[in-house]
Structure 1
Amino acid sequence: MMATNLFNRHPWLKRIRHEWLLLLFAALAVLLACVDPQPWSRYKTWLQIPTLCGLLGLLIAIQGIRDSGLVQRVAGMLVMHVHSLRGVALLLVSMTAVLSMVLTNDVSLFLMVPLTLAIGSMSNLPVLRMAVLEALAVNAGSTLSPIGNPQNLLIWQHAQIPFPSFIMHLLPAAAVMFLLVAALAWFWMPKERVALHADRLDGHGVSRAMATLSILALALMVLMMQYHQAPLGALVLVIGFALFSRRTLACIDWLLMATFAAIFLGLGHFATLPIVGHALDTINVQQPLALFLSGIVSSQLISNVPATVLLLDRAKDALALAVAVNVGGFGVVIGSLANLIALRLAKQPHGMRLFHEVSLPFLLVCAPLVYLVTRLLA
């Protein structure tokens, strides 16, 4: 009874009770802090404050674009010109993959998932299936570009590989991944034609002032992230929207921010444990297959960006490592944190379950195909 009253007085406690990923990684971070205490400077490093600030800035800008009505207007224009669900799926998957090459995987999802939700609200498009496909598509598309995702950026800068050489080496792997995602989209989507809800196509007014402010905010945030000034960019956006649109700030998914903070702390600390380092030292990552499997397995355990950090100095073939950790973005949801962003933005029931029902078999099919193709073309 006391617990029920407590939840009634504080609704946010009721929400946290259902945030199992947040609770799991928060518990891991606290447990590791107790059994392996570290200086505060290391916790600050693991927390990845610039990344969290970048995430906050993107959340604010995209929420502003949603509030402006622009996403709904674009969604209406799209569904009026594509007549089959499979056609819509292939279009959205392709747009997501291409955007991830130039705007990074996270930014691509922040643009495409709200658009998908808007299309789903005015048609019979299966939104959750599309969100899962878009999570897979950003992993495939961002693989090709040195700036497509954090692990590629780390490897590109560390190994000093020419931009064209990086793209040419990753092209076979990215092509296999994208073709598999496109095939999945084609066969998984219903054969039906797009059925429009006529009553929801009209009446989507666009606030030009809010749309302009939000698009400028998004451009500013991406620019600030490129120049490693994400905290300053997030501060500017928080102040700007606090002055002009407090409602937008109120709609931000703050629990997503807390979940990422817990994941960064928990996985960051776990990755530096001596037992993890010793385990990796026993693996001969100079062997192509061993490196490939190490990148995938470690990505499943600690996500592909920490896995890249752990393996970067151990692996002589940086480009082979890039292939491995990008393939490792499939599988479990923490393989790539872009997976979590896609599911969280979609806010669909049973999203995590459906994601794993699709992504785990996808990894089992994709991994051997990518390895065979890359080895044959090496």
Structure 2
Amino acid sequence: MTSQTSTTHTWLDRLKHEWLLLLFTALTVLLAFVDPQPWARYQRWLQVPTLCGLLGLMIAIQGIRDSGLVQRLAGMLVARMHSLRGVGLVLVSMTAVLSMVLTNDVSLFLVVPLTVAIGGMSNLPILRLAVLEALAVNAGSTLSPIGNPQNLLIWQHAQIPFLQFVGSLLPASAVMFVMVAVLTWFWLPKERVELQADKLDGHPISVSLAVLSLVALAMMVLMMERGYAPLGALLLVIPFASFSWRTLRCIDGWLMATFAAIFLGLGHFAALPIVGHALGKIDFTQPLALYLGGIVSSQLISNVPATVLLLDRSPDAMALAVAVNVGGFGVVIGSLANLIALRLAKQPHGMRLFHEVSIPFLLVCAAVVYVVMRLLA
């Protein structure tokens, strides 16, 4: 009985810190009472394939962590770099480039654990890098039609060639990345990298777990691309339950619950008649109205639901793509990749620092990108 009481208290103490989960759970319950909907709509809003994809990625990356491979790669990288700014620029650039090919969330699942490992053996400021990587993944994924979900939706809707899409988003993505790189250079300390030698070589690699995890990651990405994320996640759970139960126990179930609550709450909110009525009063044929509409709606309901909401109302799909990608900056739900970066970093006061940097960054970036895009129009 004492053990059960202790477990309950631990669970409740943890729940107190999950304010996003509590907020969106309350929103979901409130909307369910105010505007009840058929169960089928809640199932659609829950986005089970996306949640399964997230679970599969978390399992594979946790396995890579547990194998010691990330720590070994971190040691190799930091041993060859001399300045914190140099390490920071390499990690930020790596995040942006990977997001163009492997999507924004996969990129973060690969680079943020590497950043945490480097920070554990050196004086690298982990939280600052995690914030910068969240910004970088938004800038990098903007360029590619497959870099993030909103781009994929717009690309399929617009039915334009791959390279034409890239060319249309190149100016915005370039501006965004240059601004992230400049912020990285000036925000990170000038200091040299200081290695903690006792931690540099203390991470033996489990070859079998590393191979299993890398294969699992590749398989999960392929399954997600082909629309079989639930099957992919199931196929990962079975071998890890058999060979590395510890890996499954380390999965962040709170993050999964938070995403489920966000999907339900924001999906229902975006479908409210009052929201559709308000959007109907906006003239999206005006470039500035479309641009601000995409950014503001992304801040309120995240950029993927904002894209779904505005896609049929927008006369210019590529202008909408610029707006919702810029809208990924700002508040943490502007892009759910922001939340992934902060949860992977597991640093105190992460949410506060993120908003102290990301909101001003959005205000400056939005103005600069708009001016550049209008000059090139």
Normalised by the shorter chain, which TM-score bucket? Answer: over 0.9
Offset, 1:129: 0.0
Do residues 278 (structure 1) and 277 (structure 2) align? yes
Indicate conservation of the 8 Å contact 2:21/2:261, yes or no.
Answer: yes
How high is the sequence identity, in percent, across the aligned residues? 79
Q: For 1:229-378, what aligned pairs fall within 5 Å after superposition?
A: 229-378=228-377
The residue number in structure 1 matching 2:92 is: 93
Indicate conservation of the 8 Å contact 1:7/1:13, yes or no.
Answer: no
Deviations along 1:290-345, one digit per CA (max 9) or x if unpaired, are: 00000000000000000000000000100000000000000000000000000000
Mapped partners of 1:9, 1:27: distance in 2: 21
The residue number in structure 1 matching 2:214 is: 215
Do residues 193 (structure 1) and 192 (structure 2) align? yes
Offset, 1:8: 5.2
Q: What do you get for the CA RMSD once the two structures are aligned?
A: 0.9
Indicate conservation of the 8 Å contact 1:7/1:14, yes or no.
Answer: no
Of 111-120 and 236-245, deviating more is: 236-245
Mapped partners of 1:216, 1:359: distance in 2: 35
Indicate conservation of the 8 Å contact 1:71/1:115, yes or no.
Answer: yes
Deviations along 1:51-104, one digit per CA (max 9) or x if unpaired, are: 000000000000000000000000000001110000001000000000000000
Mapped partners of 2:19, 2:256: distance in 1: 14
TM-score normalised by length of structure 2: 0.98
Mapped partners of 2:334, 2:86: distance in 1: 28
The residue number in structure 2 matching 1:134 is: 133
Mapped partners of 2:237, 2:84: distance in 1: 38
Offset, 1:14: 1.8
Return the letter of the residue paired with 2:72: R
Mapped partners of 2:373, 2:241: distance in 1: 50
Equivalent residue pairs, number = 374
Mapped partners of 1:41, 1:17: distance in 2: 31
Deviations along 1:131-177, one digit per CA (max 9) or x if unpaired, are: 00000000000000000000000000011011000000100000000
Mapped partners of 1:289, 1:183: distance in 2: 27
SS of the residue aligned with 2:80? coil
Cα 1:85/1:59, change in 2 over 3 Å: same
The residue number in structure 1 matching 2:16 is: 17
Mapped partners of 2:203, 2:244: distance in 1: 19
Offset, 1:13: 2.2
Return the letter of the residue paired with 1:155: I
The residue number in structure 2 matching 1:112 is: 111
Mapped partners of 2:247, 2:326: distance in 1: 36
Cα 1:252/1:8, change in 2 over 3 Å: closer
Offset, 1:204: 1.3
Return the letter of the residue paired with 1:78: L
Deviations along 1:243-293, one digit per CA (max 9) or x if unpaired, are: 111100000000000000000000000000011001111110111110000
The residue number in structure 2 matching 1:183 is: 182
Mapped partners of 1:196, 1:158: distance in 2: 50
Deviations along 1:187-233, one digit per CA (max 9) or x if unpaired, are: 00000000011111112111110000000000000000000000000
